[in-house]
Amino acid sequence: MLVKKSLISIVDDDRLVREAIAGLLRAYGFLPEAFASAASFLGSETRHRTDCLIADVQMPGMSGIELFCQLVASGETVPTILVTAYADERERRRALRAGVQSYLPKPFDESQLLACVQAALEK
């Protein structure tokens, strides 16, 4: 029996963060795909196959919440986890009201992220 591995897309302008999250997810059996910007993710075929999206809130060009809202506006419902080094309670509430699955302040520990990913995939 073939078991489908979940494709997790990571969008973060910080290469070290992208690589760290991808490595963690790979170690737990997920298929991570990393992108340096929202535009590169939106222009990829991966966009349509993504089971869960992890995106940085603050990125040049398009923020994580803007990326999420664009996906929703185009009819794509991808469970989304936003991560940020600049936690803001008002931004967190706005993101959750918009339908974002989780909002994690950096630094987060790997068990927090894994729990968020698992919850997102169960939806």
**pLDDT score at 55:** 98
Strand order in the sheet with 80-84: 31-35, 7-11, 52-56, 80-84, 102-105
For residue 45 the two structure tokens come to: 């075929």
What's at 35, amino acid-wise?
F
**pLDDT score at 89:** 93
**pLDDT score at 47:** 95
Q: What is the 3-state secondary structure (H, E, C) of 23-72?
A: HHHHHCCCEEEEECCHHHHHCCCHHHHCCEEEEECCCCCCCHHHHHHHHH
**Domain 7-122 sits in CATH 3.40.50.920:** no
- C-beta separation of 17 from 56 below 8 A: yes
Categorize the per-residue pLDDT at 3 as very low, low, confident or very high, splitting at 50, 70 and 90: low
Q: Say whether pTM exceeds 0.85.
A: yes
- C-beta separation of 102 from 123 below 8 A: no
Categorize the per-residue pLDDT at 1 as very low, low, confident or very high, splitting at 50, 70 and 90: very low
State the DSSP code for 5: P
**pLDDT score at 87:** 85
Q: Average pLDDT for residues 54-79, to the nearest whole number?
A: 95
Of 71, 28, 69, the C-alpha closest to 46 is 71
